[in-house]
């Protein structure tokens, strides 16, 4: 184990997770790794919070999104999309490099691209790219948050031109319902937070390398509703771990 952690993971991540280290070693479980780390003062855990939504249509919108996850339409593809707006190189002193991602909720595959700017105009070509990546006339359901960039006249024009594309929006203050946020959190942990980038070009190269690696080993998110009595509503006071 000591020898293994002296080098970085082969997938381009900046640090090891218990599962990655266990897979690298081959003869030890990730639970054993997780038990060993605390004994040496390593505590890879965190606490996060989010605002409960004040959207009056919270339950209707949430049910629409979750329904696409748990019971997607037949012969259709469902993408959850978003942008990560503030990735920087050279110890966070360079201009930001926005990252756009579309997470295929069935397969776990990710379509990603970087952009020069983070504006409403950048979302339009990204959406067109999603459409171009699918077979002609295949029904495409796109889940996005309530950001104004996702609701422009240009987006409406694309929807009018491509009637097989349908937009679904998460409730206000509920971007956590987007499965793509889990992927963004993963690339933040694996590449961005502890990465050293010598230039914007270097940052872009490492992001693209990670996206290509994810395409080789896609992992869909499996949602289960274990306790229906603990419903999340617009009046919920919630904290996630």
- Within-domain flag for 240: no
The structure tokens listed for 87 are 């990735």
Residue 203: CB atoms within 10 Å:
24
Q: Is residue 38 part of a domain?
A: yes
Task: Kindly state whether residue 203 falls inside one of the protein's structural domains.
Answer: yes
- Does one domain contain both 74 and 160? yes
Judgement on whether residues 87 and 193 belong to the same structural domain of the protein: yes
Strands 239-240 and 48-49: antiparallel
Q: How far is the C-alpha of 188 from the C-alpha of 95, rounded, in Å? A: 17
Please determine, for residue 235, whether its predicted confidence score (pLDDT) is greater than 60.
no
**169 and 196 belong to one structural domain:** yes
Percentage of the chain exceeding pLDDT 90: 37
109 is written with which tokens? 């595959």
Same domain, 88 and 159: yes
Gyration radius of the chain's alpha carbons: 19
At 183, phi and psi to the nearest 5? -70, -40
- In degrees, rounded to 5, the angle at the alpha carbon of residue 234 between the alpha carbons of residues 233 and 236 is 65
Are 107 and 37 within one domain?
no
Mean pLDDT of 227-234: 62
Q: What is the DSSP letter of 195?
A: -
Q: Which residue has the tokens 């206000």?
A: 172
Asked if 230 contacts 239 with a C-beta cutoff of 8 angstroms, the reply is: no
Same domain, 65 and 141: yes
| Same domain as 84, residue 27 | no
Could you read off the pLDDT of 58-79 as tens digits, one per residue? 989 999 999 999 899 999 999 9
Say whether both 82 and 125 belong to one domain: yes
Number of independent structural domains in the chain: 2
Identify the CATH number of the domain in which residue 188 sits. 3.30.420.10
Higher per-residue confidence, 16 vs 19: 19
Does any domain span residue 231? no
Shared domain for 70 and 177, answered yes or no, is yes
Q: Are residues 166 and 68 part of one domain?
A: yes
Same-domain pairing of 72 and 102? yes
pLDDT at 239: 38
CB atoms within 10 A of CB 49: 9
**Among 50-64, 78-92, 137-151, 155-169, the least confident range:** 78-92
- Residue 95 has what pLDDT? 60
Q: Is residue 229 part of a domain?
A: no
The answer on 131 and 24 residing in a single domain is: no
* Domain carrying residue 111: 55-216
């Amino acid at each position: 184990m000591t020898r293994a952690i002296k080098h970085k993971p082969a997938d381009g991540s900046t640090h090891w997770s218990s599962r990655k280290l266990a897979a690298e070693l081959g003869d030890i479980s990730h639970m054993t790794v997780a038990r060993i780390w605390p004994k040496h003062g390593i505590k890879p855990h965190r606490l996060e919070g989010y605002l409960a939504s004040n959207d009056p249509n919270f339950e209707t919108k949430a049910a629409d999104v979750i329904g696409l996850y748990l019971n997607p339409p037949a012969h259709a593809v469902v993408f959850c999309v978003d942008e990560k707006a503030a990735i920087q190189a050279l110890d966070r002193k360079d201009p930001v490099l926005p990252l756009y991602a579309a997470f295929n909720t069935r397969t776990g595959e990710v379509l990603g691209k970087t952009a020069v700017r983070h504006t409403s105009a950048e979302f339009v070509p990204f959406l067109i790219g999603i459409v171009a990546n699918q077979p002609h006339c295949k029904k495409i359901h796109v889940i996005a948050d309530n950001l104004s960039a996702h609701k422009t006249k240009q987006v409406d024009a694309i929807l009018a031109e491509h009637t097989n594309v349908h937009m679904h929006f998460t409730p206000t203050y509920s971007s956590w319902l987007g499965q793509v946020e889990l992927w963004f959190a993963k690339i933040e942990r694996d590449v961005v937070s502890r990465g050293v980038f010598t230039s914007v070009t270097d940052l872009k190269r490492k992001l693209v390398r990670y996206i290509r690696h994810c395409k080789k080993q896609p992992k869909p998110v499996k949602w289960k509703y274990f306790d229906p009595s603990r419903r999340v509503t617009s009046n919920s006071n919630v904290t996630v771990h």
